[in-house]
Amino acid sequence: MNPLHCIARPGTLQGEARIPGSKSNTTRAVVFATLAPGRSVIHNPVTSVDCFSTVRVCRQLGAKARIEEGTWTVDGVGTELEPPSDVLDVGNSGTTLYILTATGTLLRRGHAVISGDEQIRRRPSGPLVRALTDLGATAFCTRPDAGAAPIVVGPRLAGGRTQLPGVNSQWLTPLLMTGPLSEKGVTVDVDNLQERPYIALTLAWLDRLGIRYSREGWRTFHVPGGQAYAPFEATIPADWESACFPLVAAAITDSEVTVRGLDLNDPQGDKAIVEILQRMGADIAVQGDGGIRVRGGRTLHGTEIDCGDIPDAPPILAVLGSQAEGRTVLYNLGAARLKETDRPRSIYEELSRMGARMHWETEDRLVIERSDLHGTEIDGRHDHRIVMATAVAALVARGATKISDAQYAAISFPNFFEVMQSLGAPFELVSDATAERETA
């Protein structure tokens, strides 16, 4: 990706926008299609950098994927995965890292090496690697003390019983996806599972594909072995995580925005943004055709928000809290610390540069107070959600804000800047040199 800055200025929004497909669903769909022998058709996939990374590594395992506008066709290989001839480079995609780490243990011969960019090589992978070892597979980190990629995996996921800490659902999802193809089946005991909507999303895919499983609450999951995936045709729902940005932008400015393509019945956890905005006093309406309309201009009021099931939301929720009267408290932040960055800490530092009044009540409770923001230079930290959240914050800041790493928005919301500009956001994408001149 070419380095870009966003020069963002205060402004209001007006109009309608369609939200792209869900990254979480698209990633799962591509891997399920790879593990199903025959042709699967995926409609409305999100054309994000992360999802293209998933397609690339699945091709290395033998899948044939044809990418066309609005539809991806995948000819899968089932359990006849090919030993890759090169490292499986997942780029910046943590979801792909973890799912492909487990998928690689289905190889009948040979080994695979999974790695990615600098952030991926810091993402904690030890619990998943240990679980795969418990289940009979070859799995180890090349840097044992790091507990992170590069990871070597190989035959064979026999099955059995293992345990996982519950702070990161991305360690459990891969075992649920690969367990049906194991010989003996997989049972996973999970301690205090966070991010439950992501597991509900994975289980919804297993239901769709006819896979048998059982669970005891959110504590124990059992997937019988000896099953198989069949090819499928599916339409990817719109991404609630992406929708949060224009919805919050409208709520904190004197704007009126309608976003379309969303489904409140979808398992995605970030649909909680509707209830959060309602609770804080925003003028928000759910329309019958999948539209969500927000009118700004109302006084917002602070509230306490449990982020355990919405770990991608703390950056944009911190921005929302900075424009609400009283105190907004974000808590249960453990899962949010294990993403591309320690997101609660990152947004705390970057919004503080803009003048936000924030403090840590405890290590797990971030308090945000009503703040007057001002433009400044922001480090996007190679994190798409920090980039997009601070761009929204710039709409209510005095003066210009220069945000580095703007190209990283394409990781999850490939047309974020185009969508926001179509609504009237005064955002400009410029090269490094141009950014220096325009903010001098």
Q: What is the pLDDT of residues 9-38, one digit of tens each?
A: 999 999 999 999 999 999 999 999 999 999
Compute the average pLDDT of residues 95-105: 98
Could you report how far apart the first and last alpha carbons of the chain are, in Å?
25
Per-residue pLDDT for 205 more than 60?
yes
Mean pLDDT along residues 307-335: 97
| Cβ partners under 8 Å of residue 324, min gap 6 | 280, 300, 301, 302, 303, 368, 370
Q: Which of 63, 15, 14 is nearest to 40 (CA)?
A: 63
Average pLDDT, integer, range 311-335 = 97
Radius of gyration of the chain (CA): 21
Confirm whether 312 is a catalytic residue. Answer: yes
170 assigned to a ligand binding site = yes
Domain 23-235 superfamily per CATH: Enolpyruvate transferase domain (3.65.10.10)
CB 341 within 8 A of CB 120: no
| Fold classification of 5-20+238-438 (topology level) | UDP-n-acetylglucosamine1-carboxyvinyl-transferase; Chain (3.65.10)
Whether the link from the prior residue into 150 is cis, omega within 30° of 0, is: yes
Nearest to 258 by CA among 293, 216, 208, 296: 293
How many residues does the structure list for the chain? Answer: 440
Q: Where are the alpha helices (DSSP H) in 354-396?
A: 384-394
**Rounded CA separation 35/181 (Å):** 9
Average pLDDT over residues 293-304: 98
Q: Phi, psi at residue 415, to the nearest 5°?
A: -115, 30
Residue that the structure tokens 């920090």 belong to? 386
pLDDT tens digits for range 108-118: 999 999 999 99
Name the pTM for this structure: 0.94
List, by residue range, all CATH 3.65.10.10 domains of the chain.
5-20+238-438, 23-235
Does the annotation list 339 as a binding residue? yes
Give the tens place of pLDDT for each residue, 84-96: 999 999 999 999 9
Q: What is the mean pLDDT of residues 411-434?
A: 93
Residue 312, annotated ligand binder? yes
Q: Encode burial over 343-359: b for 16+ CB neighbours within 10 A, e otherwise.
A: bbbbbbbbbebbebebe
- Asked if residue 28 belongs to a known ligand binding site, the reply is yes
pLDDT tens digits, residue range 240-286?
999 999 999 999 999 999 999 999 999 999 999 999 999 999 999 99
Q: Is 123 annotated as a binding residue?
A: yes
Q: Got the DSSP string for 255-299?
A: -EEEEES--TTS--GGGHHHHHHHHTT-EEEE-TTS-EEEE--SP
Amino acid at 21: G
Instruction: Please tell me which residue in 312, 364, 372, 432 is annotated as part of the active site.
Output: 312
Q: Is 268 assigned to a binding site?
A: no
pLDDT over 70 for what percent of the chain? 98
Residue 114: phi, psi to the nearest 5? -110, 130
Residue 121 assigned as binding residue? no
Cα 362 from Cα 73, distance rounded (Å): 48
Of residues 39, 45, 41, the one with CA closest to residue 70: 45
